[in-house]
Chain A
Amino acid sequence: MSKLRIERAAAPLWAKPLIPIVAVLVTFLVTSVLIIIAKANPVSAYYHLLIEPLSTRFSVLEVLVKSTPLILTGIAVTVAFASGYFNIGAEGQLYAGAIAAAWIGSTFVNLPAIVVIPLMMLLGFLAGVIWALIPALLKIKLKVDEVVTTLLMNSIMVYVVSWLLNGVWRNPETGAQQSPEFFEAARYIKLAAKSRLHLGFIVALVVVVIIYILIKKTPLGLKMRASGASKAGAQFAGINVNRTMLVAALISGGIAGLAGVGEIAGIHYHLINELSAGYGYTGIIAATLGGLNPIGVLIAALFIGLIGTGSLNVSMALRVPVYLGDVVQSTLLLVTLAMLLLQNYRIKRI
């Protein structure tokens, strides 16, 4: 008769994709308690949360709209985390990109779309890079912990945006706190009629592919993964860990900036304080859930977008507070964190 034993070793390959699936199931089990507290039936709540959004064309497209910024912030976080640089500042970098876009999109009235859209993306990317630069330099030059500085930069950005919207961009007539409207050529084109789906979704997919190739197929990607796995080991192998982390931090900031460009040029057409619903932080959920693999992050972001769309349905149909979506997302993050440890174990017959 054979016995089973758990030992510390890499789990078999087939087990890896099971981890997020089991994490999702555990999360639904845990959060169903809250649905019962809200006096609703968990099964029908999950129907409205996960299935109903996929039942009409409009809501499917709406899932993609909600996923767009999350794909980008998720990839931004992935690039940094995979390289061992803990960028918690995607939220601030997103707004930096949005500020650049808000300026371009309302200033260069005479430029055609073919010029102004790429210009806006470029400057949005650069703005994110610039906002990411200070913590990154402090990290590699002075070993100042990047988690704290990127987090503080988010808080500073809140006031930069508020200062702009209270000052130069305040509407002199209405007093509204929003930047001037985008002119037509600066708006992202819509990808489908009667929907909000915009060019930003394509941008996000392109970024996924580029970063996938970068991380998996290029020498720089190899250096990044090596630095992420073990700084000392990478250093020993002759890799300039500091420079690798700097590059990763800046790419990360730039991609987060693109997320900001998309939200403003694709949806709002002007800068507002509430442009991002914490997308920079939700990006950390997407990156963790996706196992820091760009394709995994894409799937995770789509799933989070689905939950975001579905939580509106749940609240309308069953009067369960819309914050159910946030609870499910954050629970999923914690459960996944715990489940990921299982990768380090395998069951052996002895």
Chain B
Amino acid sequence: MDDFLVSLIGATLRVATPLIFATLGELFCERAGILNLGIEGIMFLGAFAGFTTASLTGSLWLGLIGAIISGMLSGLLLSFFAVRLGVNQHVSGLGLTLLATALSLFLFRVIFKENQNLPSVVPFQQLNLFPNNPILHEIFSQYLLTYIAIAIIPVVWFIIFRTNYGLKIRSVGDNPEATDAAGINVYRLRTSALVIGGGLMAIGGAFLSIAQLGKFTFGIIEGRGWVCIALIIFGNWHPVKVLWGALLFGGVQALQSRLQITGIKLPYELFLALPYIVTIIALTLAGRNASYPAALLKPYKRE
């Protein structure tokens, strides 16, 4: 049973990694007042761009950079619609998801053709911090990106709550009119949040393709972006609480895949649907207490 628990903890961290990156990305966007429903597509594009760059250049790190650039460009594209033009954030965000997904599939086929065997790269290897201790070895045998994911949580917290930039982001998400009156460029600030957010989301996607799988499959994201939309509410727009949410989700996922192996008969779909159900319940209970950024979904127009 100890083995079971130890491997469960290890797997939980692995499942949580892409969620942490992408949810922190969404946090930047939403704190600045933009609901980014492009997240699912940006993660998909990040997985594609990361894999493709890594495969063509032979460097996983260049792959990661390629993914980040693809995510930042996606954020920039969305900012043109949701910030500059101020169109409906739901529709433009979903539009970005559809476009980024279609574009990835299209370019993947152009570059790698229709192949019987999926192309692959040798992915990032797990670091082995405690080679001699069997328990710690199992838990801390993780990808570098997992450690980075956990390390950037305090960084994001610091940026949002302790820096001048973070203060501006929060104020533009709560009251863009007042922010503008204080002489701050609302458009530029929101755009920067979307670009940073997009980059983080893409890392989440790229983790799956160039660390965990070494492949790009068409079902690689499979709704993880929507999980992040749920996690951000669950975590009340706070970076540290987001971590707990991501770990909880990762734990449930890791548990269900392990229970399946042990042969215990449980409808695993219930486990998979659980985070969504819990989020809806959490939303219901939080009701008006949920601390939505006040100007979320409200386009800002300078008259």
> Contact residues of A with B, CB < 8 Å?
34, 37-38, 86, 88, 134, 138, 142-145, 147-149, 151-156, 158-160, 162-163, 166-167, 278, 281, 284-285, 288, 321-324, 326-327, 329-331, 333-334, 337-338, 340-341
Determine whether the beta carbon of A334 is less than 8 Å from that of B96.
yes
* Contacts between the two chains (Cβ within 8 Å), count: 124
Contacts of A322 in B (CB 8 A): 109
Contacts of B91 in A (CB 8 A): 284, 288, 333, 337
Instruction: Kindly state the separation between the CA atoms of A285 and B270 in the bound complex, as whole angstroms.
Output: 31
Instruction: Kindly state the separation between the CA atoms of A138 and B35 in the bound complex, as whole angstroms.
Output: 19
Give the segment of B198-206, B240-248, B274-282 that binds chain A. B274-282
Give the segment of B130-138, B161-169, B173-181, B223-231 that binds chain A. B223-231
Nearest A residue to B104 via CB reads: A323
Say which size band chain B's interface belongs to: 35 or more
Instruction: Kindly state the separation between the CA atoms of A333 and B94 in the bound complex, as whole angstroms.
Output: 10
- B residues 258-275 near A (Cβ < 8 Å) are 267, 269-270, 272-273
Nearest A residue to B102 via CB reads: A326
* Interface status of B147 (Cβ within 8 A of chain A): no
* Interface status of B233 (Cβ within 8 A of chain A): yes
CB distance from B194 to the nearest CB of A (A): 15
Instruction: Kindly state the separation between the CA atoms of A214 and B13 in the bound complex, as whole angstroms.
Output: 52
Determine whether the beta carbon of B94 is less than 8 Å from that of A281.
yes
* Interface status of B101 (Cβ within 8 A of chain A): yes
Give the segment of B61-69, B80-88, B120-128, B183-191 that binds chain A. B80-88
Nearest A residue to B96 via CB reads: A334
Determine whether the beta carbon of B94 is less than 8 Å from that of A155.
no
Determine whether the beta carbon of B273 is less than 8 Å from that of A156.
yes
List the 8 closest pairs (A to B, CB-CB), nearest first.
Answer: A326-B102, A321-B109, A330-B98, A330-B99, A159-B269, A163-B269, A159-B273, A323-B106
Nearest A residue to B106 via CB reads: A323
CB distance from B79 to the nearest CB of A (A): 13
Determine whether the beta carbon of B283 is less than 8 Å from that of A281.
no
* Interface status of B151 (Cβ within 8 A of chain A): no
Contacts of B81 in A (CB 8 A): 334, 337-338
Determine whether the beta carbon of B98 is less than 8 Å from that of A160.
no
Instruction: Kindly state the separation between the CA atoms of A152 and B110 in the bound complex, as whole angstroms.
Output: 33
CB distance from A340 to the nearest CB of B (A): 8
Determine whether the beta carbon of A327 is less than 8 Å from that of B102.
yes
Determine whether the beta carbon of B95 is less than 8 Å from that of A334.
yes
- Whether A326 touches B101, Cβ cut-off 8 Å, given contacts A86-B90, A149-B280, A281-B94, is yes
